Amino acid sequence: MLNPPETVYRFLSQLFAELKKYDSVFFATVEEGMHKPEVLAAMSQIFDGVLELKLYEESFRIVPLLRVRKMRGVPPQLGYYRFTMSHGRMEVTSYAK
């Protein structure tokens, strides 16, 4: 938030180039509404995958949902998946509204 988007984009591009040498994984999180949509679109282009996590209220319950917006080597996935976390594991199941 304190640096111009162009500076952050250059930094991430250089960082990813370095990390790929080591066959490593890099996760980044972005809070919805914190950046302009065009900035998020530009940033998502340099990532191999983009996941969207959100909370949905259903019949007075909170349902955590996950959507695969983009993943290298995988065709686009439509819709959301429900996920739960327990005992250090994540379980993903289909979600039909």
What pLDDT digit, counting tens, does each position of 31-85 carry? 888 888 888 888 888 888 999 999 999 889 999 999 999 998 988 888 999 999 9
pLDDT for 81: 94
Sorted by where each begins, the domain ranges of the chain are 1-47, 48-97
pLDDT for 78: 85
Residue-by-residue DSSP string for the chain? --S-HHHHHHHHHHHHHHHHTTT--------TTSS-HHHHHHHHHTSSEEEEEEEEEETTEEEEEEEEEEETTSPPPPS-EEEEEETTEEEEEE---
